[in-house]
Amino acid sequence: MNIQIKSGALQQVLALASLVVLILFFTFSSSNFFQFSNIVGILLSTAVIGVLALGSTFVIITGGIDLSVGTVMTLSGVMTGVCITFWGLPVPVGILGGILTGALCGLLSGTAVAKMKIPPFIATLAMMMIAKGLALIISGAKPVYFNDAESFAEVSQGSVLGWLIPGLDIPNAVVIFFIAAVVGYLILSKTIIGRYNFALGSNEEATRLSGVHVGFWKIVIYTLTGAFTGLAGVMMASRLNSANPALGAGYELEAIAAVVIGGTSLSGGKGTIIGTVIGALIMSVLTNGLRILSVPQEWQTVVVGFVIILAVYADILRRRKA
Amino acid sequence: MKIMKKLSVLALILMLTASMLAACGSTGNNAAGGTDSPSEGGSGSGSSSAAEGEIYIPIISKGFQHQFWQAVKAGAEQAGEELGVRITFEGPETESQVDKQIEMLQAALDKKPSAIGFAALDSQASIPYLKKAQENNIPVIAFDSGVESDIPVTTASTDNMAASALAADKMAELIGNEGKIAMVVHDQTSVTGVSRRDGFKKQIEEKYPNIEIVDIQYGGGDHLKSTDLAKAMMQAHPDLKGIFGANEGSAVGVINAVTEMKKEGQIIVVGFDSGKAQIDAIKNGTMAGAITQNPVGIGYETVKAAVAAIKGEKVEPQIDTGFYWYDKNNIDSDEIKAVIYE
């Protein structure tokens, strides 16, 4: 456990250094980059993918993967819309409905992985399709709008901070992202869930032999990932003030990329929440900066691809030394 | 554990059997002998298609989830009812699933329809199947986007180049014929993405020398991505006067970005297509106006042309289904109400 924390710290320093270098580079390249409104914009565009990536971190540390987070996020957003708009339920109930929908999908994926022994790749691939289909069914294949519940938009778009400290107009979505990160950090480093999470990813057989109910904890972890995914869905719906069943595909890959850039190993047993936060920030600083420099989009995608390879290669080099 | 395994295998077998039975049942319903191979159908015994005398026209679209396709479907169904022909409407889940669409086209041909409506996702990939239709004397009506082939009897679509040139004219007028503008386009590979981008760009470059297009970015029609990239554009060019969003998702993204940057009214937003978010934005002043195609008309004209072709009547090789500029002033008129869709 001690070794993990140490290499984790080194990893974070490296990721943080890359982030700082990127920020410095863009600040010197364009005077429009380092401005309050743009920094807030970057944080806001990190928020949804960031929460998604936080959730994915747990499953990836077990050595698993969750390919369904993009479409489950959509399903959760649509479910919130169904609760609030179609059924006329109060906004908090709708939010809870969205988060629970995500958790339930995670529970099902986890059960498929832990009890039915379906490989995570396949089980969550199936969940990806199930969630996509269900999102279309419950929405009637149409976007759901929240125009009747104006307070819902405030969940992401409002600014509690700006209300507390005038001038500090940071949208709630950013605040929720950081709170979610703190909660994720506490779960991963201070609770038994976190401990078994690392144990499962390092050596599942040894964990089983030491008397841990492996199946149960796997289900807990997939459910936890699902709950974060549900929260991301609620945040996205609130930011767009609508839930569109056609959105969400492809977001799982961005979330996985953020986790990997943050130093979490896809083979499991190693990873941190702070790393994921930095990874998500690196992704959005990079895309925002390249956009501000008006780099053609084709090249933006190529650059992000290279960054992923570099991040994973740095991780491999470090492990060889260790 | 062992019992668990056996049970799950059993359940899987049951599910597979059930789905296979269901699949057989459904093809049986669609057409007697629906599983006949096309070569057998060519022998002349294939009159078993739709019930005797009934005209059946399957329509294969590019998708079905977007409101746009739902409106095309509504138009096709309306024509089907008026003309007394049977219509089916289907399309793949996303507009990148070329192979799925080809399968749908193949299946539709196997049912030996009277004519076929087709909006190609990939104009090249579909040509062998269209040839098969031609050999079997099944008229093909292309809609929305054309096919690079002379097989389709006609193409019912919006003239996207002309439509986005109109958007460019409106944008120029609204910003006083000078200044910096930017564009958010859905993609750079599809026919609509390319022709709307080029139609807008060409018009600005040729007619308005004092307007500069400073940036063109692609958001895949994804609302959230388009929002973020439009915000970055505004950040990079603080003196930006207007942004054009080339389809529904792009336009909604630009609207969100302007709202989040609190620049309502300072940046002129011109959009394309329709949808509730755009209609609301026009009503509350965030968006100046947008071009709408006439999707109901596209569906309607496709079926109408198909019926004409079946009857051997002459059909024009191009059917321009039209487009409209709508803004605060005419959004509630009957003419516009008929072509915008929520």
A74 in a structural domain: yes
Cβ contact, residue pair B223, A115, below 8 Å: no
Contact assessment for residue A280 and residue A308, using Cβ atoms and an 8 Å cutoff: no
A166 in a structural domain: yes
B326 strand-pairing partners = B290
CB of A35 less than 8 A from some CB of B: yes
Domain span at residue A279 reads 40-288+298-316
Among A227, A78, A301, A22, smallest CA distance to B225 is for A301
A4–chain B nearest CA distance, Å: 34
A188 in a structural domain: yes
A1 in a structural domain: no
Closest alpha carbon within chain A to B64: A141
A5 in a structural domain: no
Residues A204-259 have pLDDT tens digits of 999 999 999 999 999 999 999 999 999 999 999 999 989 988 887 789 999 999 99
R_g of chain A, CA atoms, integer Å: 19
B295–chain A nearest CA distance, Å: 16
* pLDDT at position B15: 58
Contact assessment for residue A155 and residue A101, using Cβ atoms and an 8 Å cutoff: no
Contact assessment for residue A277 and residue A47, using Cβ atoms and an 8 Å cutoff: no
A321 in a structural domain: no
Which residue in the block uniquely carries the two structure tokens 């029609």? B221
A233 in a structural domain: yes
How far, in Å, are A11, A19, A185, A251, B160 from residue A272 at the CA level? 9, 16, 8, 20, 49
Among A283, A284, A45, smallest CA distance to A156 is for A45
Cβ contact, residue pair B232, A288, below 8 Å: yes
Residues B76-118 have pLDDT tens digits of 999 999 999 999 999 987 777 888 898 999 999 998 999 999 9
CB of A39 less than 8 A from some CB of B: no
d(CA A52, CA A35): 26
Residues whose CB is less than 8 angstroms from the CB of residue A144 and which lie 6 or more positions away in sequence, other chains included: A78, A81, A82, A85, A86, A242, A243, A244
Cβ contact, residue pair A240, B223, below 8 Å: yes
The one-character DSSP state at B1 is -
CB atoms under 10 Å from CB of A178, counted, come to 14
CA-CA-CA-CA dihedral for B94, A77, A107, A203, to nearest 10 = 80
The model's pTM: 0.79
Overall domain count for chain A? 1
Residues A47-94 have pLDDT tens digits of 999 999 999 999 999 999 999 999 999 999 999 999 999 999 999 999
Cβ contact, residue pair A41, B235, below 8 Å: yes
Among A271, A307, A277, smallest CA distance to A7 is for A271
Q: Give the mean model confidence (pLDDT) for residues B60-83.
A: 88
Cβ contact, residue pair B235, A33, below 8 Å: yes
Contact assessment for residue A66 and residue A225, using Cβ atoms and an 8 Å cutoff: yes
Geometric angle at alpha carbon B117, from B114 and B123, rounded to 5°: 130
Geometric angle at alpha carbon B273, from B272 and B278, rounded to 5°: 85
CB of A292 less than 8 A from some CB of B: yes
**pLDDT higher than threshold 60 for residue B305:** yes
Cβ contact, residue pair B235, A297, below 8 Å: no
Strands B116-118 and B140-143: parallel
**pLDDT higher than threshold 50 for residue B49:** no
Which of A142, A171, A291 is closest, CB to CB, to B67? Answer: A142
**pLDDT higher than threshold 90 for residue B342:** no
CATH of the domain at A112: 1.10.3470
CB of B215 less than 8 A from some CB of A: yes
A30 in a structural domain: no
Residues A155-202 have pLDDT tens digits of 998 999 988 988 888 999 999 999 999 999 999 999 999 999 999 999
Strands B268-272 and B289-293: parallel
